[in-house]
């Protein structure tokens, strides 16, 4: 029973922390671009804690499988000062891109630091500069392997059966032993989350960026109805894939 509770804490902390990093990226860039942030939420569902010191509401919710930053004028057009819909396309792109990019950068930095510590502790050479150089090579290989996996996905050589979702990820986290193993998985999931989130699929940040690119080319926004329909199609696709992946994860575990 104690092991079960420890595993639950490990899973909730890791996923919650990566969501905080992701949404924090959106939040900070939105603030830099002078776009009003109405709510910064970690988790979904019922509210556990909620504070509103100024114009932004900060929420901690019961289901730790995601989060969101709600911006003025993001879901519908708004002419208010600080509205997302009134911001320039480069600013909107920067805000949308920030979440996934923050996860990728954070994951690579953690991987690099962990690699430096491990290599240096093995005393392959007690020079810290050489340890950092070798860790940098490992980090580059790690990043290239992620892009290779992405390429396999796009050319159809990666099967959906090979994907893992929240259930599979939770199992991997629960099986970690020791702080180094846990930090390695933290970096791996962070980069994976960032890369996946930037795929050009509607309802993901990458899909939103694709719509902004289309708007820039057309020099005119898509109609609100068209944009909502595209997002709904993307959301339905993601739900279908997620359920299928979760089903396979459960079968693997059982």
Q: Would you tell me how many other CB atoms lie within 10 Å of the CB of residue 95? A: 27
Of the two residues 248 and 213, the one the predictor is more confident about is 213
Q: How far apart are CA 194 and CA 82, in angstroms?
A: 27
Domain chopping of the chain, boundaries: 2-253
pTM over 0.75: yes
Is 245:165 a contact under the CB 8 Å cutoff? yes
Q: Are 73 and 57 in contact (CB under 8 A)?
A: no
Which of 26-35, 149-158, 200-209 reaches the highest mean pLDDT? 26-35
Q: What is d(CA 105, CA 22) in angstroms, rounded to the nearest whole number?
A: 11
Cβ-contact 59, 41 below 8 angstroms: yes
pLDDT at residue 3 is higher than 80? yes
Residue 100 has pLDDT above 80, yes or no: yes
| pLDDT value of position 213 | 92
Q: For residue 76, is pLDDT > 80?
A: no
According to the model, what pLDDT value does residue 147 have?
77
Per-residue pLDDT at 123:
64
Task: Give the per-residue pLDDT at 17.
Answer: 92
Residue 236 or 102, more confident = 102
Tens digits of per-residue pLDDT, 223-241? 878 888 888 888 888 888 7
Instruction: Judge whether residue 69 has pLDDT over 90.
Output: yes
The 10s digit of each residue's pLDDT in 114-170 is 888 887 777 655 677 787 878 888 888 888 887 777 777 666 666 666 667 777 788
pLDDT attached to residue 222: 79
Q: In this predicted model, which residue has the larger pLDDT, 82 or 150?
A: 82
Least confident range from 102-106, 162-166, 247-251: namely: 162-166
What pLDDT does 99 receive?
A: 94
């Amino acid at each position: 029973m104690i092991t079960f509770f420890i595993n639950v804490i490990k899973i909730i902390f890791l996923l919650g922390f990566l969501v905080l990093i992701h949404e924090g990226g959106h939040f900070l860039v939105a603030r830099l671009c002078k776009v009003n942030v109405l709510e910064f939420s970690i988790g979904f569902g019922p509210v556990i804690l909620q504070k509103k010191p100024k114009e932004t509401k900060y929420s901690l919710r019961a289901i730790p499988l995601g989060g969101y930053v709600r911006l003025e004028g993001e879901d519908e057009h708004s002419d208010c000062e600080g509205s997302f819909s009134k911001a320039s396309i480069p600013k909107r792109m920067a805000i949308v891109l920030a979440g996934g990019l923050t996860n990728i950068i954070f994951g690579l930095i953690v991987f690099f630091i962990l690699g430096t510590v491990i290599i240096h502790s093995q005393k392959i050479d007690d020079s810290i500069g050489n340890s950092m150089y070798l860790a940098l090579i490992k980090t580059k290989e790690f990043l290239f392997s992620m892009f290779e996996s992405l390429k396999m996905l796009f050319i159809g050589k990666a099967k959906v059966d090979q994907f893992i979702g929240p259930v599979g990820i939770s199992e991997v986290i629960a099986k970690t032993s020791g702080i180094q193993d846990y930090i390695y998985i933290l970096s791996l999931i962070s980069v994976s989350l960032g890369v996946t989130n930037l795929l050009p699929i509607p309802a993901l940040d990458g899909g939103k960026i694709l719509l902004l690119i289309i708007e820039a080319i057309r020099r005119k926004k898509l109609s609100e109805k068209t944009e909502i329909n595209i997002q709904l199609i993307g959301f339905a696709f993601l739900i279908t894939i997620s359920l299928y992946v979760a089903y396979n994860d459960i079968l693997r575990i059982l």
